[in-house]
Every structure is written in C-alpha cells, then in structure tokens.
Amino acid sequence: MTTLMLLAVSAGLLLLLHFYAPAPSGLWTETLLESLHVPIFGIIALSLFVATGLRTDWRPAKRVAFVCVAATALALLSESAQISGPRDASFEDLMSDWLGASAALLFALALSGRHLYPLAARFSVALAGLALCLIALWPFISVSIAYVERNVQQPILVSFDSRIGRVFRHTQHATLHLSHDQVSKKTIGHITLEEGAWPGLIFNDIWPDWRDYSTLVIDFGLEGNEPLEINIRVHDRAHKLGDQPYNDRFNLSYKLQPGRHTLRVPLEQIRNAPKGRQMDLSQIEGIVVFCSAGHAGRQFQLVEIRLEYTQ
C-alpha cells in the first residue's frame, strides 16, 4: 500500500507539471512556476527511492543509481509530452528536473547510508546535494533578490547602477553598453540602434504602484549634431493581458536634441491615455523606450527613469 501511495504521488506531480499552465502574471511568478520543477522532481525521486527500498534489498547507492535513471527517463517523457500540451517543453525545465531529482537523491544517500558509509563521506554527499539545489534554484533566487532591490530603490524605476536589475530589461534590435559618469556618479546606458522594427529597450516588471506620485521623469542624452525621435510607451497589466491595441496604452514621441535632457510627463496624462478606460496606476507593468526603423547606427543615452511628486 505504501509503495502504491508513493507512486500515486509521483504520478500526480507529473500530471501537475503537464497540465497546470496559469496565465502569466510577472517575471517572479513565472520564475517561481519554472522553479517548481526542482522540488517536484525531488519529491518524485524520493518517492521512488523509498519505494525501491520497500520492494528490494538493494543498497542505497544502487537504489540512487536506479532512481536517477528512472527520474531522467520520466523527465524526458514529461518534457516530450508537453510539446503538444498547454505548457512549453524546454531544455531548462529538463535540467531543473534532473537537478531536483539528483539533489534529493544525494540527500537520501547521505541519510540512509549512516550505517554503511563514514561521516565525512556522507557529509560531502550532502554538501553536493546542497550545491545542486542552489544551482537549480539560482534563477528564482536571483530574480527574488532583484525584486527586493527594485522595491527598495523606488521611486527610481530604471537605473543601470544595479547588475541584478538587468533581469527586468531587454534589448530589441539594439545593443546596450554601460559607462560610469564621474560627474553624476551614475551608470549611463548607451543604446545603439540596429536594423529592425522598433529598436530600443524594454523594461518589464518595474515598480507598479505610481499612485503616490505626479510625474514620470526620464533623463536622456544624445551625442552628435542631429536630433533623434524617441518614442515612450507605458502600459499597465490590463493592457498586457488584453489584446494590446496601440490606443490602449500611453504613447509619446519626443524629439531628443543633442546634449543632456530631462523629460517630465504628468501621470494624469498617462492615466488618461488609453482609449475608453483609465490606466491603472497601481498596476503599471512596463516601459518601452524605442525609435522607429531606419536609424541603424544612431545612439542615444539613458541615465535614469524615476517618479517624482511635484506640487
């Protein structure tokens, strides 16, 4: 009966991985869901390890080897089945499955072999299991740290001073390199435009609650003698989850002149930008700073994006 229960738990967890596909609601939630592969396959591996102990007289090391092969096969089958299912198969998920199972099996070997192996060996095995756990869960850990930093630094929405905060930004047909300004003591982002539609920078999962502020402030820079048309887009979560028409968000074209400039946008203007509704200033999801096609090779600078309250 115990063996059947353990196998039923394993089967149930596999079905959960295959069919459970919630709607996306931010990078942290998405990373958490992806990281669930680690504990789920850890539990599956432990269940199979205990089940083999109940049904065989194998030593712990042999059981670990058998379950590791079985868990790897289950992970391959699970990912293959997801190709046509509601979730997407990926090599990253497969590695998370294997790392989760392997870490759990190392812990199991360290605990179950207390009468067979010396303490130093079991301690080393447990440390190896802990290391695999940290490797498997590092994407979730790093994203969680980035969210803590994001919350601490608000009302600064975008700053290039943080290496961790880069998880929130993405280039689109553009390259980004950073430099440190000795005068302002800030890190400046240099965005070089490439061929392609709407080249620029995308900032997702920024600090969402803008209700206590009145102004969006963007510090720009442009070298050379020719101005450059910059587009600013702000959207909330409702826009991101909806059909995303152009007039359901805030859009602004700004002719950036050579030199250093500060753009100030009243939040009331952003609130009233979507057609037929008001933007939810408590659920802002992202900012996009971009240009139209045809400016490949041009470069502009972005120093900081922040919120301010002005009377």
3-state secondary structure of 51: helix
The confidence score (pLDDT) of residue 165 equals 73
Cα three-residue angle 66-68-74, rounded to 5 degrees: 105
Number of domains making up the chain: 2
The confidence score (pLDDT) of residue 185 equals 81
Domain match, 144 and 266 both: no
Stretches in the chain below the pLDDT threshold 70: 1-4, 6-7, 9-11, 13-25, 81-89, 113-115, 164, 311
Domain match, 272 and 132 both: no
C-alpha to C-alpha distances, 27 to 126, 243, 272, 285, nearest whole angstrom:
31, 20, 27, 11
Q: Can you list the alpha helix ranges (DSSP code H) found in 154-231?
A: none
Burial class (CB in 10 A: 0-12, 13-18, 19+), 84: exposed
The confidence score (pLDDT) of residue 56 equals 77
Domain match, 232 and 293 both: yes
Domain match, 170 and 98 both: no
The confidence score (pLDDT) of residue 60 equals 81
Domain match, 136 and 8 both: yes
The domain boundary residue, chosen from 152, 183, 203: 152
Nearest to 213 by CA among 285, 281, 141, 259: 281
The confidence score (pLDDT) of residue 19 equals 63
Domain match, 163 and 296 both: yes
The confidence score (pLDDT) of residue 202 equals 94
The CATH number of residue 241's host domain is 2.60.120.430
Domain match, 170 and 140 both: no
Domain match, 203 and 236 both: yes
The domain boundary residue, chosen from 89, 121, 152: 152
Domain residues for the domain of 185 are 156-308
